[in-house]
Amino acid sequence: MPCPRCCPPGLLALVGPGLALLAQLALASPPDRRAPPAAAAPGAKGRTLVLLDVNTKSAVRVTGDSFLSLQLDPSIIHDGWIDFLSSRRLVTLARGLAPAFLRFAGKRTDFLHFQNLKNPAKSRGGPGPDYYLKNYEDDIVRSDIALDKQKGCKIAQHPDIMLELQREKAAQMHLVLLKEQFSNTYSNLTLTARSLDKLYNFADCSGLHLIFALNALRRNPNNSWNSSNALSLLKYSAGKKYNISWELGNEPNNYRTLMGRSVNGSQLGKDYVQLRSLLQLIRTYSRASLYGPNIGRPRKNVIALLEGFMKVAGSTVDAVTWQQ
Ligand SMILES: *[C@@H]1O[C@H](CO)[C@@H](O)[C@H](O)[C@H]1NC(C)=O
Ligand SMILES: *[C@@H]1O[C@H](CO)[C@@H](O)[C@H](O)[C@H]1NC(C)=O
Ligand SMILES: *[C@@H]1O[C@H](CO)[C@@H](O)[C@H](O)[C@H]1NC(C)=O
Ligand SMILES: *[C@@H]1O[C@H](CO)[C@@H](O)[C@H](O)[C@H]1NC(C)=O
Ligand SMILES: *[C@@H]1O[C@H](CO)[C@@H](O)[C@H](O)[C@H]1NC(C)=O
């Protein structure tokens, strides 16, 4: 039975995120028990017909331009995946998503160490994508570079052999990552200055704003945050004038299961205050945005962590964040 005022959710998605959001809000509003049962089609067993009255004249809420954004997990550092961030095809596709945030964070955030190697080429294994890139990087298709000269973008047309090698590695790497996930034990990851350059180059060339989550699990004996590695990363990226927003740690409510050591809300708040004062000391980041505490869904003990955090660092962060 066709009904002019209702359409399946699938169709709503086609008219745009704004409208779909309004429709969801309408569906999520508490049911009015006094309303006549007009919404339920009589006799249609197991099926519910929902009447949607979408008000397209006025907005209920207006989201930011970057409402739909994306995240990259630091596991891409493994085995040269990060080299593909300079792929012309990927950058072209990512440009379609701008304006958006690119959040570099995930489970492995708190296992990430920055290393400002003077000569990273020496530490590279071969032959792998890294090895090939090392040889091709210097003559990355000149015309592509010319195209993006104003922005200083480094974009590459990767040789097929590199893609093939990476495909071979992919299956193997996937197993390693899965194993870490299942056993909930993660190995330390090293982010070199060169990898950070590649990450930033990708974000910048694609028109995405990078949010970088620093490792919060580097701790002093009294459980306060040891900022020395973060400071070295901040200094490096400030030297490069990288426009980055910052976070400290990922899902701190999970630290007990992840590392067998917990960090409470007030301690994390103090760590954020410490990070803010570090940022203020560095001219490039004196007005940078700081987001946190990146907790999991706020319920039960996670709420206690959030409350402790807010008391200490509520006025220090530019946005309070949590994950679904
Ligand atoms: C990872 O690094 C931390 C901090 O340096 C260290 O305490 C820990 O033992 C390392 N873990 C592994 C598995 O090497
Ligand atoms: C902080 O970490 C650095 C390097 O990991 C180490 O050299 C330093 O001793 C640590 N500081 C404290 C107070 O433990
Ligand atoms: C914890 O230890 C660090 C490094 O040793 C020190 O700088 C800091 O003042 C200590 N914090 C407290 C509250 O004692
Ligand atoms: C850094 O990026 C933010 C977000 O895109 C932008 O608003 C700001 O103007 C930029 N800052 C500088 C110094 O370019
Ligand atoms: C939070 O943790 C810190 C450091 O481990 C500790 O000194 C403090 O007493 C704790 N605060 C609360 C409210 O549990």
What are the pLDDT digits (tens) for 69-107? 999 999 888 766 787 888 888 888 999 999 999 999 998
Closest ligand to the CA of 226: 2
Q: Which ligand 1 atom is the nearest neighbour of the CA of 218?
A: 4
> Is the C-beta atom of 190 inside 6 A of ligand 2?
no
> Is the C-beta atom of 226 inside 6 A of ligand 2?
yes
According to the model, what pLDDT value does residue 297 have?
87
According to the model, what pLDDT value does residue 158 have?
74
Q: How far apart are CA 24 and CA 39, in angstroms?
A: 16
pLDDT single digits (tens) 9-60:
322 222 333 333 333 333 333 444 344 444 444 555 688 898 998 888 998 8
According to the model, what pLDDT value does residue 94 have?
92
Q: How far apart are CA 147 and CA 324, in angstroms?
A: 39
Radius of gyration of the chain (CA): 24
Q: Which residue out of 217, 226, 271 has the highest number of ligand 2 atoms within 8 Å of its CB and is therefore the one to mutate?
A: 226
Q: How far apart are CA 237 and CA 305, in angstroms?
A: 31
According to the model, what pLDDT value does residue 176 have?
82
Closest ligand to the CA of 222: 3
According to the model, what pLDDT value does residue 174 have?
80
**Domain covering 70-322 assigned CATH 2.170.190.11 in the classification:** no
Whose CA is closest to atom 5 on ligand 4? 209
> Is the C-beta atom of 188 inside 6 A of ligand 2?
no
Using the mean position of ligand 2's atoms as its centre, give its distance from the Cα of residue 193 in Å.
Answer: 20
According to the model, what pLDDT value does residue 102 have?
97
Closest CA to 296 of 252, 256, 258: 252
Mean pLDDT by 10 residues, the chain (324 residues): 33 31 37 43 70 88 91 84 83 92 95 79 48 48 47 75 77 81 86 92 94 97 96 96 97 89 95 98 97 91 94 97 90
> Is the C-beta atom of 224 inside 6 A of ligand 3?
yes
Give burial (CB, 10 Å; 0-12/13-18/19+) of 321: middle
